[in-house]
Chain A
């Protein structure tokens, strides 16, 4: 028996892993992205490092930009380099401080003016794959973040919380292929579903809009409030392409999100969205 198993060990290992894989899928489906104990231990160990790296990266980015900019100057005049380097570094630091100041002021104004109860958060890491569009932020259950909380910025909606730990949460962006939001055209109130696409990481498709509906390029798209996650009237994006598509029942519409996800740093999580919507 042992010999039989040993001779076919490769197949047994694959079979066992296949069973484990099926178990893993069924567990994922049942638990709705809830982390188990092992997940939590690893995330507790790793997330602070991610936070530290994100913080260090932010602080050192300008230093490296300055350094790269000065390579050519170094060749021309060594004496000027030290001074120039120092000046550039200082100017960049001041510039960064100025931008940060403006950004924080904008955030504060937004937070004060917002009709929702919101929690400010910072991104600490992005998705590990090229296809997934999720981010991890530095607030969690301790900050009253809950599953399915809406995530917004001062430019519009960002996504929703799909899992939380005490101090960290995972947010699925609206550009993720698993994301679907019920939306309205602000001008004509035509309804549709805004979805993410693999091929266009910075675009959304607006599905299920009847060919008879009046939607034009430049129309603003806002959330409809249906579904209970995103409050009604939040800006989603702007229509950039409309094709009637004679062979289809629905129009083919492309939306450019109002938020530039590549430059996202701070965001806000709406606490208890169901009571505010």
Chain B
């Protein structure tokens, strides 16, 4: 329970950073590198936390966590239909079921899972946009938004995973399946 509450608190804090300082930093970096096209790309910390849950949490606990994190995302992205509450649970189940079948004991797999989850996540969002909003060119969206965000999330994931593992350690969290530790 302790771990659950701390994880929710950390997620909320990450979301605050995700909507305030972090976009400024990433857009400054892209600006300095003359990649202004990517200036609006944001790191999705909550998606990384969902991937972590998919690798290291039991089914029910993970589903509840993913739903709450999805709800937070919807609350902090008020202009659009609340999709994340649902999508995050799907991503959690996806990572959990596939990761139990493919096992590689390597740090790189964290990056791989985050990258893949971001691609699938944004692909789903774009599919929804393609039916409802002013959306024209999927290929262009892939190059300008989907792929760069996946790269950013993947780069940030080792750092977030380390913090989450530290939280597990400090709150004496026992992991369901030791082999899933990557």
* B2 on interface, CB distance cutoff 8 Å: no
Known A13-B63, A50-B16, A130-B42: A199·B81 in contact at CB below 8 Å: no
Chain A residues within an 8 Å CB radius of B40? 130, 133, 201-202
Q: What secondary structure prevails in chain B residues at the interface with A?
A: helix
Pick from B18, B86, B137 the residue with the most CB of A within 10 Å.
B86
From A21-29, A73-81, A85-93, A110-118, the one touching the partner chain is A21-29
CB A187 to nearest CB in B, in angstroms, measures 25
Asked whether A199 lies within 8 Å of B136 as measured between CB atoms, the reply is yes
Query: How far does the alpha carbon of A127 sit from the alpha carbon of B21 in the complex, in Å?
Result: 12
Known A13-B59, A17-B89, A21-B85: A129·B73 in contact at CB below 8 Å: yes
* B145 on interface, CB distance cutoff 8 Å: yes
* A30 on interface, CB distance cutoff 8 Å: no
Asked whether A128 lies within 8 Å of B19 as measured between CB atoms, the reply is yes
Chain B residues within an 8 Å CB radius of A42? 12, 72, 75
Chain B residues within an 8 Å CB radius of A21? 82, 85-86
Which residue in B20, B39, B44, B85 is a CB contact (below 8 Å) of A53? B20
Asked whether B93 lies within 8 Å of A129 as measured between CB atoms, the reply is no
Size of A's binding interface in residues, CB under 8 A:
52
* A212 on interface, CB distance cutoff 8 Å: no
Chain B residues within an 8 Å CB radius of A132? 77-80
Known A57-B24, A127-B19: A198·B73 in contact at CB below 8 Å: no
CB B98 to nearest CB in A, in angstroms, measures 14
Query: How far does the alpha carbon of A259 sit from the alpha carbon of B133 in the complex, in Å?
Result: 23
Chain A residues within an 8 Å CB radius of B93? 10, 14
Chain B residues within an 8 Å CB radius of A46? 12, 15-16
Asked whether B20 lies within 8 Å of A126 as measured between CB atoms, the reply is yes
Contact with B along A181-208 (1 / 0, CB 8 A): 0000000000000011111011001010
* A172 on interface, CB distance cutoff 8 Å: yes
* A262 on interface, CB distance cutoff 8 Å: yes
Asked whether B85 lies within 8 Å of A20 as measured between CB atoms, the reply is yes
* A148 on interface, CB distance cutoff 8 Å: no
Asked whether B16 lies within 8 Å of A53 as measured between CB atoms, the reply is yes
Asked whether B144 lies within 8 Å of A199 as measured between CB atoms, the reply is yes
Query: How far does the alpha carbon of A96 sit from the alpha carbon of B104 in the complex, in Å?
Result: 51
Query: How far does the alpha carbon of A25 sit from the alpha carbon of B83 in the complex, in Å?
Result: 8
* A277 on interface, CB distance cutoff 8 Å: no
A–B complex contacts, Cβ < 8 Å, 18 sampled: A17-B63, A17-B85, A17-B86, A25-B81, A49-B16, A53-B16, A125-B20, A127-B19, A128-B72, A129-B73, A130-B44, A132-B78, A132-B80, A177-B133, A197-B136, A198-B129, A201-B39, A201-B40
Give me the interface of B with A, judged by CB distance under 8 Å.
12, 15-21, 23-24, 27, 39-42, 44, 46, 59-60, 63, 67, 72-82, 85-86, 89, 93, 122, 125-126, 129, 133-137, 140-141, 144-145, 149
